Amino acid sequence: MRSLIDNEVLGSIAIQEVLRYCPEQKITLPNSLLVLPLLFNKRIRATLKNKNTKIIGCKDFILSHPNDLLGVRTLYQDLIITSLNSQILAIELGIASLAGGYLELGSVIYSGIDAKEYGSIAADISLAAPNTSKILREDPVELYGNFRIPV
């Protein structure tokens, strides 16, 4: 049985929240596959939701928090199917759409995400989304290289 955090509904919440904070509310398809590996890991999510965390760039973030980010490559490989299924669900629900190599925000269907209504993990994801979107603005080749994920 899969744990609650590894499901597509929570993934669609993560996608929606990250897209809300992206410039023009869209993200490249390759970078969209990094949403779940960054937000489904408790340590990375805690770092990203911390109000004292300042994101200058991916390299700086990795150098500032190397122990938290050691497993991003493994997380990416473990969550690739869940990431794709979450994107499909988000598109089916109207949260996102595909256009010109980008995943774009459609409509916000999960509003006012708080721990009481959606659970603590969803609330943490919502708080971590602004910093996550800053990381995912970078060029996909550079981003994947920084996380040591083969392209």
pLDDT tens-digit readout, 66-78: 888 888 999 999 9
User: What is the DSSP code (8-state) at residue 136?
Assistant: T
Q: Which of 20, 7, 37, 44 is nearest to 133 (CA)?
A: 20
pLDDT tens digits for range 92-131? 999 999 999 999 999 999 988 888 888 899 999 999 999 9
Model confidence at 2: pLDDT above 60 = no
Using CA of residue 127, residue 132, residue 133, residue 134, what is the dihedral sign?
Answer: positive
pTM comes to: 0.91
Residues in CB range of 143: below 8 A, 6 or more apart: 30, 31, 34, 58, 135, 136
* Sheet with 96-99, side-by-side order of all strands: 26-28, 102-105, 96-99
Residue 78's CB: how many other CB atoms inside 10 A? Answer: 15
C-alpha distances in Å from residue 7, one per residue of 4, 40, 42, 107, 138: 6, 10, 15, 20, 26
**Position 57 confidence tier, pLDDT thresholds 50, 70, 90:** confident
Map out the domains of the chain as residue ranges.
4-146
